[in-house]
Amino acid sequence: MLQKETKEKLNFSYARRLEQLPGYLFVEIDRKKKELIKQGVDIINLGIGDPDQPTFPHIVEAMKKALGNSQYHHYPMGTGLEQFRQVSACWYKERFGVEINFAKEIYTLIGSKEGIGHFPLAFINPGDVVLIPEPAYPVYTSSTIFAGGTPYYLPLLEKNNFLPDFSSIPQAIREKAKLLFLNYPNNPTAAVADKRFFEEVVRFADKNEIIVVHDAAYSEIYFEEEKPLSFLEVEGAKEVGVEFHSLSKTYNMTGWRIGFVVGNEKLIKGLSRIKDNLDSGVFDCIQVAGMSALEESQEAVEKIRQLYKRRRDVLVEGLIDLGWQVKMPQATFYVWTKVPDGSSSAQCATKLLEEAGIICTPGKGFGPSGEGYVRFALTVEEDRLKQSLDRISKVSF
Protein backbone atom coordinates (compact mmCIF):
# COMPACT_ATOMS: atom_id res chain seq x y z
CA MET A 1 0.00 0.00 0.00
CA LEU A 2 1.19 3.41 -0.89
CA GLN A 3 -0.51 5.22 1.93
CA LYS A 4 1.72 7.19 4.24
CA GLU A 5 2.21 6.86 7.93
CA THR A 6 -0.17 9.23 9.64
CA LYS A 7 2.34 10.13 12.27
CA GLU A 8 4.99 11.47 9.94
CA LYS A 9 4.82 15.17 9.21
CA LEU A 10 2.60 15.82 6.26
CA ASN A 11 4.30 17.03 3.20
CA PHE A 12 2.71 19.68 1.04
CA SER A 13 4.71 20.19 -2.11
CA TYR A 14 4.31 23.49 -3.92
CA ALA A 15 3.51 23.87 -7.57
CA ARG A 16 6.62 23.96 -9.78
CA ARG A 17 5.73 27.47 -10.92
CA LEU A 18 6.58 28.72 -7.43
CA GLU A 19 9.88 26.94 -7.27
CA GLN A 20 11.04 28.38 -10.60
CA LEU A 21 10.77 31.95 -9.38
CA PRO A 22 13.84 34.06 -8.77
CA GLY A 23 14.05 35.62 -5.31
CA TYR A 24 11.94 38.74 -4.79
CA LEU A 25 14.55 41.38 -4.25
CA PHE A 26 12.49 43.97 -2.42
CA VAL A 27 11.74 41.49 0.32
CA GLU A 28 15.47 41.03 0.93
CA ILE A 29 16.08 44.76 1.12
CA ASP A 30 13.14 45.11 3.48
CA ARG A 31 14.61 42.50 5.79
CA LYS A 32 17.97 44.28 5.99
CA LYS A 33 16.25 47.60 6.48
CA LYS A 34 14.25 46.24 9.40
CA GLU A 35 17.42 44.98 11.02
CA LEU A 36 19.01 48.41 10.87
CA ILE A 37 15.87 50.19 12.06
CA LYS A 38 15.83 47.83 15.01
CA GLN A 39 19.35 48.98 15.77
CA GLY A 40 18.06 52.56 15.77
CA VAL A 41 19.67 53.70 12.51
CA ASP A 42 17.93 56.62 10.76
CA ILE A 43 17.25 55.07 7.38
CA ILE A 44 16.53 57.07 4.24
CA ASN A 45 14.52 54.77 2.00
CA LEU A 46 15.16 55.45 -1.69
CA GLY A 47 14.42 51.83 -2.49
CA ILE A 48 10.71 51.40 -3.13
CA GLY A 49 8.69 53.47 -5.59
CA ASP A 50 5.83 54.22 -3.21
CA PRO A 51 4.73 57.87 -3.59
CA ASP A 52 5.04 59.66 -0.26
CA GLN A 53 2.30 62.24 -0.90
CA PRO A 54 -1.33 61.62 0.09
CA THR A 55 -4.06 60.97 -2.47
CA PHE A 56 -5.51 64.26 -3.76
CA PRO A 57 -8.36 65.47 -1.47
CA HIS A 58 -11.04 65.65 -4.16
CA ILE A 59 -10.49 61.96 -4.89
CA VAL A 60 -10.88 61.08 -1.23
CA GLU A 61 -14.08 63.15 -1.13
CA ALA A 62 -15.45 61.40 -4.21
CA MET A 63 -14.92 58.04 -2.50
CA LYS A 64 -16.62 59.18 0.70
CA LYS A 65 -19.61 60.40 -1.28
CA ALA A 66 -19.83 57.17 -3.27
CA LEU A 67 -19.93 55.18 -0.01
CA GLY A 68 -23.30 56.78 0.71
CA ASN A 69 -24.82 55.04 -2.30
CA SER A 70 -25.67 51.48 -1.28
CA GLN A 71 -25.81 50.40 -4.93
CA TYR A 72 -22.05 50.56 -4.82
CA HIS A 73 -21.82 48.14 -1.87
CA HIS A 74 -22.79 45.15 -4.01
CA TYR A 75 -20.56 42.93 -6.13
CA PRO A 76 -18.96 45.01 -8.85
CA MET A 77 -19.06 43.82 -12.45
CA GLY A 78 -15.72 42.26 -13.32
CA THR A 79 -15.18 44.51 -16.28
CA GLY A 80 -15.79 47.67 -14.26
CA LEU A 81 -18.50 50.31 -14.08
CA GLU A 82 -19.57 51.55 -17.48
CA GLN A 83 -18.94 55.13 -16.34
CA PHE A 84 -15.43 54.29 -15.21
CA ARG A 85 -14.66 52.78 -18.58
CA GLN A 86 -16.20 55.75 -20.36
CA VAL A 87 -14.19 58.21 -18.32
CA SER A 88 -11.01 56.22 -18.91
CA ALA A 89 -11.69 56.17 -22.65
CA CYS A 90 -12.22 59.96 -22.60
CA TRP A 91 -9.01 60.47 -20.67
CA TYR A 92 -7.21 58.32 -23.22
CA LYS A 93 -8.63 60.27 -26.12
CA GLU A 94 -7.68 63.58 -24.56
CA ARG A 95 -4.23 62.55 -23.43
CA PHE A 96 -3.10 60.42 -26.37
CA GLY A 97 -5.60 61.08 -29.15
CA VAL A 98 -6.45 57.40 -29.26
CA GLU A 99 -10.04 56.19 -29.70
CA ILE A 100 -11.03 53.44 -27.29
CA ASN A 101 -14.35 51.61 -27.41
CA PHE A 102 -15.31 51.54 -23.74
CA ALA A 103 -17.60 48.55 -24.24
CA LYS A 104 -14.95 46.20 -25.56
CA GLU A 105 -11.50 47.69 -25.35
CA ILE A 106 -11.14 48.47 -21.62
CA TYR A 107 -11.07 46.31 -18.53
CA THR A 108 -10.79 47.66 -14.98
CA LEU A 109 -8.02 46.20 -12.81
CA ILE A 110 -7.19 45.86 -9.11
CA GLY A 111 -4.00 47.74 -9.98
CA SER A 112 -1.95 47.10 -13.11
CA LYS A 113 0.24 44.58 -11.27
CA GLU A 114 -2.47 41.95 -11.02
CA GLY A 115 -3.52 42.60 -14.62
CA ILE A 116 0.00 42.02 -15.88
CA GLY A 117 0.39 39.12 -13.46
CA HIS A 118 -2.68 37.34 -14.81
CA PHE A 119 -2.47 38.30 -18.50
CA PRO A 120 -0.14 35.48 -19.67
CA LEU A 121 -2.50 32.86 -18.18
CA ALA A 122 -4.90 33.64 -21.00
CA PHE A 123 -2.42 33.20 -23.84
CA ILE A 124 0.65 31.24 -22.81
CA ASN A 125 0.98 27.46 -22.94
CA PRO A 126 3.88 25.54 -21.38
CA GLY A 127 6.92 25.94 -23.61
CA ASP A 128 5.80 29.18 -25.26
CA VAL A 129 8.49 31.84 -25.24
CA VAL A 130 7.85 35.27 -23.74
CA LEU A 131 10.19 38.15 -24.59
CA ILE A 132 11.02 40.14 -21.49
CA PRO A 133 13.27 43.16 -21.20
CA GLU A 134 15.89 43.18 -18.47
CA PRO A 135 16.52 44.98 -16.21
CA ALA A 136 12.77 45.14 -15.51
CA TYR A 137 9.94 45.12 -13.04
CA PRO A 138 9.98 41.50 -11.74
CA VAL A 139 6.31 40.79 -12.45
CA TYR A 140 6.90 40.21 -16.19
CA THR A 141 9.03 37.20 -15.35
CA SER A 142 6.87 35.83 -12.55
CA SER A 143 3.68 36.09 -14.59
CA THR A 144 5.39 34.27 -17.46
CA ILE A 145 6.54 31.48 -15.16
CA PHE A 146 3.11 31.22 -13.51
CA ALA A 147 1.58 30.55 -16.92
CA GLY A 148 4.24 27.94 -17.74
CA GLY A 149 6.01 30.13 -20.30
CA THR A 150 9.75 30.37 -20.90
CA PRO A 151 11.33 33.82 -20.54
CA TYR A 152 13.73 35.03 -23.21
CA TYR A 153 15.45 38.17 -22.03
CA LEU A 154 16.09 41.28 -24.08
CA PRO A 155 18.93 43.30 -22.52
CA LEU A 156 18.28 47.02 -22.16
CA LEU A 157 21.65 48.65 -22.70
CA GLU A 158 22.68 52.23 -22.25
CA LYS A 159 24.27 52.29 -25.71
CA ASN A 160 20.81 51.54 -27.18
CA ASN A 161 19.11 54.13 -24.96
CA PHE A 162 17.73 51.22 -22.94
CA LEU A 163 15.58 50.02 -25.84
CA PRO A 164 15.66 46.32 -26.78
CA ASP A 165 17.45 45.33 -29.98
CA PHE A 166 15.01 43.11 -31.88
CA SER A 167 17.54 42.28 -34.59
CA SER A 168 19.56 40.30 -32.05
CA ILE A 169 16.70 37.84 -31.40
CA PRO A 170 17.42 34.52 -33.14
CA GLN A 171 14.89 33.31 -35.70
CA ALA A 172 14.10 30.17 -33.67
CA ILE A 173 13.12 32.32 -30.70
CA ARG A 174 10.99 34.64 -32.82
CA GLU A 175 9.05 31.64 -34.03
CA LYS A 176 8.34 30.37 -30.55
CA ALA A 177 7.67 33.76 -29.01
CA LYS A 178 4.04 34.54 -28.29
CA LEU A 179 4.25 37.62 -26.14
CA LEU A 180 6.48 40.66 -25.65
CA PHE A 181 6.56 42.83 -22.54
CA LEU A 182 7.59 46.47 -22.81
CA ASN A 183 7.54 49.33 -20.33
CA TYR A 184 8.13 53.01 -21.19
CA PRO A 185 8.71 55.32 -19.41
CA ASN A 186 10.86 52.55 -18.06
CA ASN A 187 11.33 51.20 -14.58
CA PRO A 188 14.16 50.98 -13.53
CA THR A 189 16.18 52.76 -16.26
CA ALA A 190 13.89 55.82 -16.50
CA ALA A 191 14.25 55.67 -20.31
CA VAL A 192 11.51 56.83 -22.65
CA ALA A 193 10.55 55.44 -26.06
CA ASP A 194 9.96 57.46 -29.22
CA LYS A 195 7.44 56.87 -31.97
CA ARG A 196 9.98 55.28 -34.25
CA PHE A 197 10.68 52.60 -31.69
CA PHE A 198 6.99 51.80 -31.18
CA GLU A 199 6.57 51.59 -34.96
CA GLU A 200 9.37 49.09 -35.06
CA VAL A 201 7.66 47.13 -32.28
CA VAL A 202 4.42 46.95 -34.27
CA ARG A 203 6.25 45.74 -37.38
CA PHE A 204 8.17 43.15 -35.38
CA ALA A 205 5.05 41.93 -33.54
CA ASP A 206 2.94 41.79 -36.66
CA LYS A 207 5.53 39.92 -38.67
CA ASN A 208 6.17 37.36 -35.95
CA GLU A 209 2.63 37.20 -34.55
CA ILE A 210 3.66 38.27 -31.09
CA ILE A 211 1.28 39.89 -28.61
CA VAL A 212 2.61 43.19 -27.26
CA VAL A 213 1.96 44.10 -23.64
CA HIS A 214 3.00 47.64 -22.89
CA ASP A 215 3.14 48.74 -19.28
CA ALA A 216 2.58 52.49 -19.16
CA ALA A 217 2.36 52.90 -15.38
CA TYR A 218 4.65 55.95 -15.46
CA SER A 219 3.15 57.73 -18.47
CA GLU A 220 2.15 60.78 -16.41
CA ILE A 221 5.36 61.25 -14.46
CA TYR A 222 7.37 63.23 -17.02
CA PHE A 223 9.51 66.37 -16.94
CA GLU A 224 9.90 67.49 -20.55
CA GLU A 225 7.69 69.36 -22.99
CA GLU A 226 7.35 66.22 -25.04
CA LYS A 227 5.09 63.88 -23.14
CA PRO A 228 5.61 60.11 -23.12
CA LEU A 229 3.67 58.32 -25.86
CA SER A 230 1.05 55.67 -25.61
CA PHE A 231 2.02 52.54 -27.50
CA LEU A 232 -1.45 52.63 -29.04
CA GLU A 233 -0.72 55.96 -30.75
CA VAL A 234 1.18 54.04 -33.39
CA GLU A 235 -0.74 52.75 -36.39
CA GLY A 236 -1.51 49.06 -36.14
CA ALA A 237 -0.69 48.86 -32.43
CA LYS A 238 -4.23 48.01 -31.42
CA GLU A 239 -4.13 44.97 -33.72
CA VAL A 240 -1.21 43.48 -31.83
CA GLY A 241 -1.34 44.73 -28.30
CA VAL A 242 -2.68 46.13 -25.09
CA GLU A 243 -1.46 48.82 -22.72
CA PHE A 244 -1.65 48.74 -18.93
CA HIS A 245 -2.32 51.91 -16.96
CA SER A 246 -2.26 52.52 -13.28
CA LEU A 247 -3.70 55.32 -11.20
CA SER A 248 -1.11 54.60 -8.50
CA LYS A 249 1.72 56.93 -9.48
CA THR A 250 -0.30 59.62 -11.25
CA TYR A 251 -2.70 60.30 -8.37
CA ASN A 252 -0.76 58.96 -5.35
CA MET A 253 -3.18 56.07 -5.16
CA THR A 254 -0.83 53.11 -4.72
CA GLY A 255 -2.82 51.77 -1.79
CA TRP A 256 -6.20 52.00 -3.51
CA ARG A 257 -5.45 49.31 -6.08
CA ILE A 258 -6.96 50.58 -9.29
CA GLY A 259 -5.76 50.52 -12.87
CA PHE A 260 -7.02 49.52 -16.29
CA VAL A 261 -5.95 47.86 -19.50
CA VAL A 262 -6.88 49.12 -22.97
CA GLY A 263 -6.34 47.81 -26.47
CA ASN A 264 -7.12 44.85 -28.67
CA GLU A 265 -10.61 43.53 -28.05
CA LYS A 266 -9.71 39.84 -28.29
CA LEU A 267 -6.80 40.24 -25.91
CA ILE A 268 -8.96 42.09 -23.40
CA LYS A 269 -11.57 39.35 -23.75
CA GLY A 270 -8.99 36.66 -22.95
CA LEU A 271 -7.85 38.44 -19.80
CA SER A 272 -11.45 39.03 -18.76
CA ARG A 273 -12.27 35.31 -19.02
CA ILE A 274 -9.37 34.53 -16.69
CA LYS A 275 -10.22 37.27 -14.25
CA ASP A 276 -13.93 36.40 -14.12
CA ASN A 277 -12.82 33.18 -12.48
CA LEU A 278 -10.25 34.76 -10.19
CA ASP A 279 -11.80 37.81 -8.64
CA SER A 280 -14.91 39.98 -8.60
CA GLY A 281 -13.42 43.24 -9.82
CA VAL A 282 -12.77 46.59 -8.15
CA PHE A 283 -14.96 48.04 -5.37
CA ASP A 284 -17.37 50.40 -7.19
CA CYS A 285 -16.64 53.22 -4.73
CA ILE A 286 -12.95 53.03 -5.63
CA GLN A 287 -13.92 53.18 -9.29
CA VAL A 288 -15.94 56.32 -8.58
CA ALA A 289 -12.88 57.79 -6.87
CA GLY A 290 -10.85 56.80 -9.93
CA MET A 291 -13.36 58.58 -12.18
CA SER A 292 -12.91 61.74 -10.18
CA ALA A 293 -9.15 61.38 -10.54
CA LEU A 294 -9.27 61.02 -14.32
CA GLU A 295 -12.11 63.43 -15.00
CA GLU A 296 -11.45 66.44 -12.84
CA SER A 297 -8.71 69.05 -13.04
CA GLN A 298 -5.25 67.60 -13.61
CA GLU A 299 -3.60 70.53 -11.84
CA ALA A 300 -2.58 68.39 -8.87
CA VAL A 301 -0.79 66.01 -11.21
CA GLU A 302 1.18 68.92 -12.64
CA LYS A 303 2.16 69.86 -9.08
CA ILE A 304 3.32 66.31 -8.43
CA ARG A 305 5.45 66.45 -11.58
CA GLN A 306 7.00 69.71 -10.41
CA LEU A 307 7.70 68.15 -7.03
CA TYR A 308 9.45 65.12 -8.51
CA LYS A 309 11.32 67.39 -10.94
CA ARG A 310 12.75 69.48 -8.09
CA ARG A 311 13.77 66.32 -6.27
CA ARG A 312 15.29 64.91 -9.44
CA ASP A 313 17.35 68.06 -9.96
CA VAL A 314 18.61 68.02 -6.38
CA LEU A 315 19.63 64.37 -6.46
CA VAL A 316 21.06 64.20 -9.97
CA GLU A 317 23.01 67.46 -9.73
CA GLY A 318 24.28 66.46 -6.32
CA LEU A 319 25.41 63.04 -7.51
CA ILE A 320 27.14 64.58 -10.53
CA ASP A 321 28.95 66.96 -8.17
CA LEU A 322 30.12 63.91 -6.25
CA GLY A 323 31.54 62.47 -9.44
CA TRP A 324 28.78 59.93 -10.23
CA GLN A 325 27.85 59.30 -13.88
CA VAL A 326 24.13 60.07 -14.00
CA LYS A 327 21.86 61.09 -16.82
CA MET A 328 18.99 63.45 -16.13
CA PRO A 329 15.87 61.25 -16.38
CA GLN A 330 13.05 62.62 -18.56
CA ALA A 331 10.34 60.60 -16.84
CA THR A 332 9.45 58.29 -13.91
CA PHE A 333 10.42 59.04 -10.34
CA TYR A 334 13.60 57.00 -10.55
CA VAL A 335 17.22 57.87 -11.03
CA TRP A 336 19.23 55.07 -12.65
CA THR A 337 22.91 55.55 -12.19
CA LYS A 338 26.18 53.78 -12.74
CA VAL A 339 27.94 52.66 -9.59
CA PRO A 340 30.76 55.19 -9.04
CA ASP A 341 33.74 52.91 -8.47
CA GLY A 342 32.92 50.11 -10.88
CA SER A 343 32.02 47.71 -8.09
CA SER A 344 28.95 45.47 -8.27
CA SER A 345 25.49 46.89 -7.72
CA ALA A 346 25.01 44.77 -4.61
CA GLN A 347 28.31 45.95 -3.12
CA CYS A 348 27.33 49.55 -3.75
CA ALA A 349 23.84 49.09 -2.25
CA THR A 350 25.25 47.36 0.80
CA LYS A 351 27.84 50.07 1.25
CA LEU A 352 25.22 52.81 1.05
CA LEU A 353 23.02 50.98 3.52
CA GLU A 354 25.73 50.21 6.02
CA GLU A 355 27.82 53.37 5.76
CA ALA A 356 25.16 55.96 4.95
CA GLY A 357 21.88 54.43 6.10
CA ILE A 358 20.51 54.83 2.58
CA ILE A 359 18.42 52.23 0.86
CA CYS A 360 18.68 52.04 -2.90
CA THR A 361 17.92 49.15 -5.22
CA PRO A 362 20.84 47.21 -6.70
CA GLY A 363 20.39 47.12 -10.46
CA LYS A 364 21.16 43.43 -10.74
CA GLY A 365 17.95 42.71 -8.88
CA PHE A 366 16.11 43.79 -12.03
CA GLY A 367 18.19 41.53 -14.28
CA PRO A 368 21.81 40.81 -15.24
CA SER A 369 22.11 43.90 -17.45
CA GLY A 370 21.33 45.99 -14.38
CA GLU A 371 24.71 45.00 -12.96
CA GLY A 372 26.85 48.05 -12.37
CA TYR A 373 23.82 50.29 -11.73
CA VAL A 374 21.70 51.28 -8.76
CA ARG A 375 18.22 52.81 -8.69
CA PHE A 376 17.16 55.67 -6.44
CA ALA A 377 13.44 56.44 -5.99
CA LEU A 378 12.49 60.11 -5.62
CA THR A 379 9.82 59.34 -3.05
CA VAL A 380 11.21 61.29 -0.07
CA GLU A 381 11.24 65.03 0.69
CA GLU A 382 13.88 67.30 -0.82
CA ASP A 383 15.69 67.89 2.47
CA ARG A 384 16.05 64.16 2.95
CA LEU A 385 17.61 63.95 -0.51
CA LYS A 386 20.06 66.71 0.44
CA GLN A 387 20.84 64.80 3.59
CA SER A 388 21.39 61.68 1.51
CA LEU A 389 23.89 63.52 -0.68
CA ASP A 390 25.69 64.72 2.39
CA ARG A 391 25.92 61.17 3.70
CA ILE A 392 27.00 59.79 0.32
CA SER A 393 29.80 62.38 0.13
CA LYS A 394 31.30 60.77 3.23
CA VAL A 395 31.27 57.26 1.84
CA SER A 396 34.59 56.28 0.39
CA PHE A 397 34.14 54.69 -3.00
Partner 1 sequence: MANEKNFSVCYSDKLKRLPPYLFGAIDILKKAAYDKKLDVIDLGMGNPDLSTPKHIIERLCDTLGNHPRSHRYPQAKGMPKFRKTVAQWCKNRFDIELDPENEVLALIGSKEGIAHLCMAYLDSGDIALAPNPAYPVHFNGILLAGGTVYDLPLLPENNYLPDLGKIPEEIAIKAKLMFLNYPNNPTTAVVDNLDFFKEVVSFAKKYNIIVCHDNAYSELCFDDYNAPSFLQVPGAKEIGIEFFSFSKTYNMAGWRLGFVVGNAEILRPLEKLKSYLDYGVFTAIQLAGVCALKDSQECVKETVKIYQKRRDIMVKGLNKLGWQVKNPKATMYLWVALPEKYKHLSSLQFAELLIEKTGIAVAPGAGFGTYGDAYVRIALITHNNRFHDALLRLKKFLK
Using CB under 8 A as the binding rule, the residues of this chain from 263 to 282 that contact partner 1 are: 264, 266-267, 270, 273-274, 276-282
Of the two residues 27 and 172, which places its CB atom closer to partner 1 in the complex? 27
Closest contact distance (angstroms) between CB of 14 and partner 1 is 5
Among 25, 104, 114, 152, binds partner 1 (CB under 8 A): 114
Buried-state track 120-150, b at ≥16 Cβ within 10 A, e below 16: bbbbbeeebbbbbbbbbbbbbbbbbbbbbbb
Answer yes or no whether residue 16 interacts with partner 1 by CB under 8 A: yes
Strands 373-377 and 361-362, how do they pair?
antiparallel
- In the window 352-381, what residues touch partner 1 (CB under 8 A)? none
Q: Assign 61 to helix, strand or coil.
A: helix
Beta strands in 184-285 (DSSP E): 211-215, 241-246, 259-263
Q: How far apart are CA 383 and CA 137, in angstroms?
A: 28
Per-residue binding letters, 279-318, with partner 1 (x by CB under 8 A): xxxxxxxx--------------------------------
Answer yes or no whether residue 72 interacts with partner 1 by CB under 8 A: yes
Answer yes or no whether residue 55 interacts with partner 1 by CB under 8 A: yes
Of the two residues 192 and 261, which places its CB atom closer to partner 1 in the complex? 261
The CA radius of gyration of the chain, in Å to the nearest whole number, is: 22
Answer yes or no whether residue 82 interacts with partner 1 by CB under 8 A: no
Q: How far apart are CA 330 and CA 312, in angstroms?
A: 10
Answer yes or no whether residue 38 interacts with partner 1 by CB under 8 A: no
Answer yes or no whether residue 21 interacts with partner 1 by CB under 8 A: yes
DSSP string, 324-357: --B---SBSSEEEEE-TTS--HHHHHHHHHHHH-
Residue 378's nearest CA partner among 310, 319, 323 is 310
Closest contact distance (angstroms) between CB of 83 and partner 1 is 15
Per-residue binding letters, 189-228, with partner 1 (x by CB under 8 A): ----------------xxx-x-x-----------------
Among 37, 54, 97, 323, binds partner 1 (CB under 8 A): 54
Per-residue binding letters, 116-145, with partner 1 (x by CB under 8 A): -xx-xxxxxxx-----------xx--xx--
Beta strands in the chain (DSSP E): 44-45, 106-109, 129-134, 150-155, 177-183, 211-215, 241-246, 259-263, 334-338, 358-359, 361-362, 373-377
Residue 216's nearest CA partner among 374, 308, 302, 91 is 91
Answer yes or no whether residue 34 interacts with partner 1 by CB under 8 A: no
Of the two residues 42 and 239, which places its CB atom closer to partner 1 in the complex? 239
Closest contact distance (angstroms) between CB of 250 and partner 1 is 13
